Structure 1
């Protein structure tokens, strides 16, 4: 597939997640809640995670922001559902490496998340793409310390 066609496909995937976000909403009060914002551009997110025996059994988000931040949140919540905490944090590390343009483990199927790899070419947008992921990391690490 040509680079142009791949870029078009990736843009379509990002816009699909933006216009039809997966896992939009808030979980009940027994869930882990993390609020984060990106003051640089005004993106904000409230992430709620339902954990059970070290596993992310559900994830939802609410927030406002650009197509990159909201699409990334949609993709992230899909990706971490059903994963144990260690797997979710590993996925976040891989995503972070991808955003920095570094080599990352490619033996893991990133699915729709791969559509965001082009963001690494635009340093000002990396914080947009990583906002939800940073919220998830923060919440899981805080939960581990309790």
Structure 2
């Protein structure tokens, strides 16, 4: 195992053990519920969108370390983004999970902790785990 793989594992476990933005909004928020029937992961994503910008995002749910870490990373990443950029980031993330995104695209997007999930592309069965929260975000922002 390379030191980079070890670092990525630590980042993923940190988000899993200490998730960011976990919880629910007490007031109205855009809410999307999704699940991955293949492995039992489920998520409720809530977002507040004002003036075309995601001002806050939170999630609840249960699942594997990949799905919950990805949700934590995603909520951190999209908070403060305009809706179009959030959707473009989701599209890039999906391509990264399929191994279709170039290193230049990933570097240019400055994905931060999200890059730690790049290795998931080597495990096709886990891609749905990593993309669950992202699919929920896309569904909510497109509706």
Taking structure 2 as the reference length, the TM-score comes to: 0.96
Q: Give the equivalent residue in structure 2 for 1:16.
A: 14
Superposed, 1:33-72 pairs within 5 Å as 33-72=31-70
Q: Give the equivalent residue in structure 2 for 1:110.
A: 111
Gaps of 5+ in 1: none
Q: Give the equivalent residue in structure 2 for 1:128.
A: 129
CA shift for structure 1 position 103: 2.3
Q: Give the equivalent residue in structure 2 for 1:76.
A: 74
- Which runs of 4 or more aligned residues in structure 1 lie more than 4 Å from their structure 2 counterparts after TM superposition? none
Secondary structure of 1:94's aligned partner: helix
Aligned residue pairs total 140
Gaps of 5+ in 2: none
Secondary structure of 1:112's aligned partner: helix
Provide the aligned C-alpha RMSD in A. Answer: 0.9
